[in-house]
Amino acid sequence: MTATQATLIFLAGAAAGFVNTVGGGGSLISLPVLIFLGLPSAVANGTNRIALMVQSVVAIEYFRKKGYFYPRLSIILGIPAVIGSILGAKVAISLSDEMFNKVLAAVMLTVMVLIIWRPEKKFLKSQGEENIKSWRLAAATLVFFGVGFYGGFIQAGVGFLIIAALTLITGMSLVKVNSLKVFVTVIYMLASFLVFVFSGKVDWVPGLVLAAGNAAGAYLGSAFTVAKGDKWIRVFLVVTVSIMSAKLLGLHKLP
């Protein structure tokens, strides 16, 4: 890895960390950059998870200090997510680079639509009282198997799925949903990450550089005003995702 590549990876991590803190979808930046810099798709997918886990652990500690810490419920939701994530990671590893890039491009464009549409705002407007008893909790565990599969497979934009699922099924507050999101993410991502590690699909040096950039970006994002940041980050993501998706689909050439 050259100094130029390390710099680009760090900057991509910083951008991803900033975006994840302000809104979400940071992997839509970091994962394609790793691929464009020459990492095979499966290796880029596994390497990207180093930074994501570091960021999630930091977020868990933040929520814990603020009093939003629900280990029992997180583990209940995390168990089916772990099973799904292992299966998803195995599928991701089995795909060719060409096929994975096309799937990633499709996912990026789908998430971009969600970024523009902002469905979570609509969910919050219709939110009722919290209810996590009986069939609702059972439904959530089934849904989180699917969430885990998607997270193990590609991860990018999974936060939108978790917010939608927990808000619609349980009626939880956004703060509680976010605290559960990061805890469950760490649980299932560790499982999928180990699949990538044991399959030799993790490049530790760029992964640690990416994690350092991610941490710096998350710090800057936390200091940025949410109202102002939300608007401009959405514009930035739409432009960036459009360019990177076109590149992954082979519609144009980038240097």
Every domain of the chain and the residues it spans: 8-248
Give the pLDDT confidence score for residue 56 in this predicted structure.
80
- In this predicted structure, which of 15-24, 90-99, 208-217 has the lowest mean pLDDT? 15-24
Task: Please give the Cα distance from 191 to 4 (Å, whole number).
Answer: 32
Give the pLDDT confidence score for residue 255 in this predicted structure.
47
Burial 119-158 (b: 16+ CB within 10 A, else e): ebeebeeebeeeeeeeeeeeebeebbbebbbbbbbbbbbb
pLDDT tens across 110-129, in order?
Answer: 777 766 666 555 555 545 55
Return the C-alpha torsion angle 161, 164, 169, 172, nearest 10.
120
Q: What value does the mean pLDDT take over residues 232-240?
A: 63
Model confidence at 20, pLDDT cuts 50, 70, 90, reads confident
SS3 content of the chain, % helix, strand, coil (to 5): 80, 0, 20
Tokens of 71: 């280990």
Q: What value does the mean pLDDT take over residues 226-250?
A: 62
pLDDT tens across 127-157, in order?
Answer: 555 666 777 788 888 989 999 999 899 877 7
Predicted model pTM: 0.76
Give the pLDDT confidence score for residue 88 in this predicted structure.
93
Model confidence at 225, pLDDT cuts 50, 70, 90, reads very low
Give the pLDDT confidence score for residue 218 in this predicted structure.
77
End-to-end CA distance of the chain: 17
pLDDT tens across 60-107, in order?
Answer: 887 788 787 788 888 988 999 999 999 999 999 998 888 888 888 887
pLDDT tens across 156-206, in order?
Answer: 777 777 877 887 777 777 677 777 888 888 899 899 999 999 999 999 999
Q: Which residue has the higher pLDDT, 20 or 90?
A: 90
- Contact yes or no for 38/47 (Cβ under 8 A): no
Give the pLDDT confidence score for residue 109 in this predicted structure.
79
